[in-house]
Structure 1
């Protein structure tokens, strides 16, 4: 902690989400003066719509543990592996491909309607100030004049668009999937360990599902499962426009499973939504924004989390990216000691994060939004016969940088398959 006779450095964060609250709590622990500005109270978040599927793999979960922000870990269902299936092309309702592999350590998903209000209260308990306001340029100017460093961590709303799209880092220019989430209870378990069960339906889209912890509608928690639907635009899974009520949303969810993934439908047919707000549908465009916003006064604001890195949920990396970004920024702020947080430092901080980690996550995630090339089909098929290949793919979700070693080039894929086949035969 800083000495009592030294004025603590002051930081303001706009946005009370995964990245903003984690960074804010981390800075408070190091003696910084931190204010978070958000337009939603804990009660607003708790009683609102679900916002995300927010699956956290172990490396990001460890960051939460290290900062004392894993309050729900003991109660939240543990997901032990990754499962993968492709339906047979003949319409028989069988699986042409199916495998599952254990993660090196479990992951978890805690409904943000539960987590964010809890973290907001914890932030205040640690001495942080929460302000409630809709932040625009004028409010940013006021914050930038008052605080040594201002971070924009809100991923939605017009304000983040002021950062501007970084076209050199954003090769995908339009939404590539119709997205929908359904939080449900009553799902039957599989006959193997809990997995993120990922289903690829060629030309149609993707469906993945995993256990989670949500609110019980009062002040407690309950287990649930989160269904994530990713429909190719214009295809048969792009069908959520007429689902206006909770009942219609659930009906569309189950009809998709019944039509394309009968094995998933059989364990989901008796499901019910956790609550009327346990659903959402929409589209996003994968985007990397510029890291620094220059205000009319010339003062600078640094983007963080979803404000600058928006990934399609297809790889489940959004909350993991936000967590790792918050930790990276925390370390960079602490290492900067008493120096000014100028534009050069801001750009360097983000570039180090992007070049050292996020670029490979973005590249891998974007690759899954397009029809898989032949070598990836070969890789996924090999995983069914070679447990070590399945394990390698599964554990890439913990640290997607590993995919750069074998995912993108056919010769690298062949090298991995051949090496593991030789080990198995030896």
Structure 2
């Protein structure tokens, strides 16, 4: 197993349980993982949380679990047009990846895995494939650039669709802001999406991770010059005051969990060929971000890596040693895995009229909100009804929401927005 991230640790634990002998190659020791820079926030949803627990990887019992999601959709003039507030079927969990990887390495070593520390180069893969029944590369997209060829049919984008910024914060008041006990999404359509996530930070424990996804070149794309967490938090406060004033009071007293707990950058989503053939003719399997890389807007990175690990762990006992077998299994996985990509790509596109109708209806009917949030755990559950106009109308009608109801809801929102614009107080000088 080359790579000790989400896919590598979960698949290693599953294969050890099934009786495989596992060598886990990590570029960092457990101690180095703990002292490394911040990593992206990975929020696992219900079934993936349960699967980790079934493998004995539920190592952080005090970490906060989120039982609900609240979405606030803002208009361009700082007004919350509507909110969708509904429970999750099972709690979600976000743990600092530095903690997860460090504890995962130690746990797997205690279970009998051979842990090898140090960088693995593409050339090293030749010797590994000569001495192991199977080599699985789970290192992310930057680890082995060009090893797995881009699949032009399954890849939708050729450039980053969002500019990303993340910072972990402490010193907030949950009694004053109880909605932040769970996950909060705040959106300004075609400008930015901001995610406020209950988090277990390696330095302070219970905290909040705030992730900003900005449309490149847009008014929220302003983190390019940030060099510290405090600088980033100051920029974030300015953005929130300007566009999301309902969150200003929560954010104002916060400070970073540490000056290094921040990230900025971007992701070019891509799907790659799952098997790479080396010069020797031997082959390696790719999993996780190595072959399926999504923008984090739908929180599918760690969830999809866990699904892939679970899928292959249940089938590798029948592995016949050929690349053909591995490709066929990946194609089988893709029949379900493609929905995670469809969800991620779909959320980066402007909301269609029928998607707005579903969201507006969900603001009135929490059971529709529950179905929406289930999509983060099982993206296939959103298809076709959230991505097809006719299916969306049928979905709403089966829940007692007809076209006249949607029109009435829209008229009510239009009146709310108009009233805000007519009667709002002028901004202070």
Question: TM-score over 0.5 for the alignment?
Answer: yes
Matched residue, 1:320: 303
Deviation per CA, 1:218-275: give whole Å up to 9, x if none: xxx5101010100000012211111112321111122221111111121111111111
Deviation per CA, 1:344-398: give whole Å up to 9, x if none: 111012111111x210110111011111111111111111112221111122212
Alignment of 1:1-400 (within 5 A): 13-72=1-60, 74-89=61-76, 91=77, 93-189=78-174, 190-192=177-179, 194-216=181-203, 222-334=205-317, 336=318, 340-355=320-335, 357-400=336-379
Aligned residues: CA RMSD: 1.5
Matched residue, 1:414: 393
**2:135 match: secondary structure:** strand
Which runs of 5 or more residues in structure 2 are unaligned?
406-429
Q: Shift of residue 101 of structure 1?
A: 0.2
Please say if residues 55 and 110 of structure 1, whose CA atoms lie closer than 8 Å, have aligned partners that are also in contact. Answer: yes
Q: Shift of residue 79 of structure 1?
A: 0.1
Matches of 1:160 and 1:196 in 2, distance apart?
A: 34
Please say if residues 363 and 369 of structure 2, whose CA atoms lie closer than 8 Å, have aligned partners that are also in contact. Answer: yes
Q: What TM-score comes out, normalization by structure 1 length?
A: 0.91
Which runs of 5 or more residues in structure 1 are unaligned?
1-12
Q: What TM-score comes out, normalization by structure 2 length?
A: 0.90
Q: Shift of residue 160 of structure 1?
A: 4.4
Matched residue, 1:4: none
Q: Structure 1 368/422 Cα, relative in aligned 2: closer, same or farther at 3 Å?
A: closer
Q: Structure 1 84/254 Cα, relative in aligned 2: closer, same or farther at 3 Å?
A: same
Matches of 2:359 and 2:249 in 1, distance apart?
A: 24
Matches of 1:210 and 1:330 in 2, distance apart?
A: 30
Please say if residues 80 and 193 of structure 1, whose CA atoms lie closer than 8 Å, have aligned partners that are also in contact. Answer: no
Matches of 2:214 and 2:223 in 1, distance apart?
A: 10
Matches of 2:73 and 2:395 in 1, distance apart?
A: 22
**2:225 match: secondary structure:** coil
Matches of 1:422 and 1:229 in 2, distance apart?
A: 33
Q: Structure 1 260/422 Cα, relative in aligned 2: closer, same or farther at 3 Å?
A: closer
Matches of 1:264 and 1:116 in 2, distance apart?
A: 32
Please say if residues 141 and 297 of structure 1, whose CA atoms lie closer than 8 Å, have aligned partners that are also in contact. Answer: yes
Please say if residues 34 and 99 of structure 2, whose CA atoms lie closer than 8 Å, have aligned partners that are also in contact. Answer: yes
Aligned length, in residue pairs: 401
Q: Which aligned runs of 4 or more in structure 1 are off by greater than 3 angstroms?
A: 190-194
